[in-house]
Amino acid sequence: MSRLRLQRMALPVATALLLSLATPGAAHKHHSILDEDEANKPVDSILWIHIFLQIIVWGFLFPIGMVLGMARSKWHVPLQSCGFVFTLGGYILGHSHGGRSFLAGAHGVMANILFAPIFLQLGLGIYLKLHIHEETIRPWAVRAHGVLGKAYPILGWLQMLFGVIAFRGYCRGGALGQCLAHYIMGSGFIAYGIIMAIMLLVGENWIRRSKRSPEWWDSWVIMLWGIVNTFTEHHGGDWSVKDMQHTVMGVIWWAGGILGIILARNNQVSILAITYAAFSTHVTMSLKRTVVPALIVIITGWAFSNHAQALMISTNVHAMVGYTLMMAGVTRIIEVCFIAPKYTPLPETAVADDNRSEHTLTDNTSNASAWQTSKAFRHLPPFLLTASGVLFMSATDEELRFVDGEGMDHVTYILLMFSIAFLIYSLVVSLIRIWARLSENASSSTGDGSIELSTASKWYAPVPGTDAEAEAARHVIGEDD
């Protein structure tokens, strides 16, 4: 059995090794200084293919494959094997392009570092397919493979960003600080939006198991981020207006974060309420939600919208980042106060019960249309956070000077960035749905056609998505939302 498996794995492994061995041979010379001529040559087709191939592999193939792995689909291994072969092909193209030249930088360094997760994941995957040490080492290998696998979208995002930076020659010299601020913070907003979308679509039972409301987690992240910002935004010398603004932004985050943590703590529930809940069948205890993180997002948005910039286009784009953030905050407040489910804590014993859990949109469960409205509305905060992140990442001086030089105005540019945000959010929602759907099928099937299952843990149960889907099926005739 394992011999057959070994034979099946031999092809992708051999291809991968061959490609990687071929890579140094194809290497082009690296530049520490560039002359005008080299920097302005047209980009050759090999580099264009490199860019599109790697975007497809790291932006789509690996994330879809990751979801298939989490759902134990039989397509996981073939898809990821293709991904490895294509990305290693992309490595060769990256090294062997002609045409325009670029300064050596983070993209090349990171590409070498990425060999570690690539070969580690490949090795772990092959080991898992061998089915040895089932009772001892294998469960740990599944965990390691799972953690590393879920880091792939983040690694891909980073390397694609470095690719754009290499392509445009951004972030050198004095521009580095601004790049770091915009790319870290912008990526942070996008990540916040994605986590919110996951919680909205499939994470309800995770939240209930954690026995903390989403705002408790939000407030902790905001507070810790605030502490970092407070001490990292001034680098000696005189305090500029920007230094002061950025530092006080850190202060407001940790100050507000503290209030959020206090208000979202569950032990605020009074003894009286607990006793009442214990004796009443009509009262459900719910996790404490608070509007404080949303308020902080609104205040942060207001600060952005008033952030004067050197270029007019830059001031306009920053203003739009601000308005989008403020809208994200306002919609979140509406969601927390009027739309959201009451998250009731789940007992430890309910770990594997995700598909049958009782939905907690307490007032709405009897009303399918109200449930649909609430579902639709709840996409607003995560989408707007994603959009503000994309806009913020696209608002560095270097980028906007380039856009201005191309004769584009802020309206076109902002619409372009919103389009990118729609695409990113579409991808995220699709991945979540593929996972929910496949997990549902896997749990109802007899097991043939899916790869092996491991035991569920407190934080990872195979089918957390289905309660939302099942809920929809229970209430709606036809397509779910």
Report if residue 341 touches ligand HEM, rule: CB under 6 A.
no
Report if residue 149 touches ligand HEM, rule: CB under 6 A.
yes
Q: How far is 315 from 306, CA to CA, in rounded Å?
A: 8
Q: How far is 342 from 212, CA to CA, in rounded Å?
A: 12
The only residue of 163, 381, 464, 465 in contact with ligand HEM, by rule CB under 6 A:
163
SS3 362: coil
Report if residue 377 touches ligand HEM, rule: CB under 6 A.
no
Residue 5, both tokens: 């498996």
Residue 398, both tokens: 């270097």
Residue 191 host element (H or E): helix 176-201
Dihedrals phi, psi of 99, to nearest 5 degrees: 65, -140
The only residue of 86, 88, 89, 122 in contact with ligand HEM, by rule CB under 6 A:
122
Report if residue 167 touches ligand HEM, rule: CB under 6 A.
yes
User: How crowded is residue 104: how many other Cβ atoms within 10 Å of its Cβ?
Assistant: 12
Q: What sign does the dihedral 149-154-155-159 (CA atoms) show?
A: positive
Q: How far is the CB of 136 from ligand HEM (least distance, A)?
A: 14
Q: How far is the CB of 95 from ligand HEM (least distance, A)?
A: 5
The only residue of 94, 193, 256, 464 in contact with ligand HEM, by rule CB under 6 A:
94
SS3 36: helix
Q: How far is the CB of 21 from ligand HEM (least distance, A)?
A: 14
**Candidates 100-108, 240-248, 326-334, 417-425; binding stretch for ligand HEM (CB under 6 A):** 100-108
Q: Which of residues 445-464 bind ligand HEM (CB under 6 A)?
A: 451-454
Report if residue 364 touches ligand HEM, rule: CB under 6 A.
no
The only residue of 80, 229, 324, 466 in contact with ligand HEM, by rule CB under 6 A:
80
Dihedrals phi, psi of 59, to nearest 5 degrees: -85, -30
Report if residue 465 touches ligand HEM, rule: CB under 6 A.
no
Residue 393, both tokens: 């990442």
Residue partners of 86: CB distance under 8 A and separation at least 6:
53, 56, 57, 61
Q: How far is the CB of 59 from ligand HEM (least distance, A)?
A: 8
The only residue of 5, 150, 288, 401 in contact with ligand HEM, by rule CB under 6 A:
150
Number of residues that bind ligand HEM (CB under 6 A): 53
Binding pattern to ligand HEM, positions 29-68, x when CB under 6 A?
A: -x----------------x--xx--xx--x---x--xx--
Residue partners of 304: CB distance under 8 A and separation at least 6:
318, 319, 321, 322, 325, 392
Query: Which residue lies nearer to ligand HEM by CB, 372 or 454?
Result: 454
The only residue of 60, 108, 211, 420 in contact with ligand HEM, by rule CB under 6 A:
108
Residue 208, both tokens: 């209930």
Report if residue 146 touches ligand HEM, rule: CB under 6 A.
yes
The only residue of 56, 85, 106, 126 in contact with ligand HEM, by rule CB under 6 A:
126
Residue 303, both tokens: 């600060």
Q: How far is 195 from 345, CA to CA, in rounded Å?
A: 20
**What's the one-letter identity of residue 31?**
H
Report if residue 345 touches ligand HEM, rule: CB under 6 A.
no
Report if residue 128 touches ligand HEM, rule: CB under 6 A.
yes
Q: How far is 335 from 380, CA to CA, in rounded Å?
A: 9
SS3 169: coil
The only residue of 73, 88, 107, 328 in contact with ligand HEM, by rule CB under 6 A:
107
Burial track 289-302 (b if 16+ CB lie within 10 A, e otherwise)? bbbbbbbbbbbbbe
Q: How far is 439 from 80, CA to CA, in rounded Å?
A: 18
The residues that touch ligand HEM, with contacts defined as CB under 6 A, are: 12, 30, 47, 50-51, 54-55, 58, 62, 65-66, 69-70, 72, 76-77, 80-81, 83, 87, 90-91, 94-95, 102, 104, 107-108, 111, 114, 121-122, 125-126, 128-129, 142, 145-146, 149-150, 152, 156, 159-160, 163-164, 166-167, 451-454
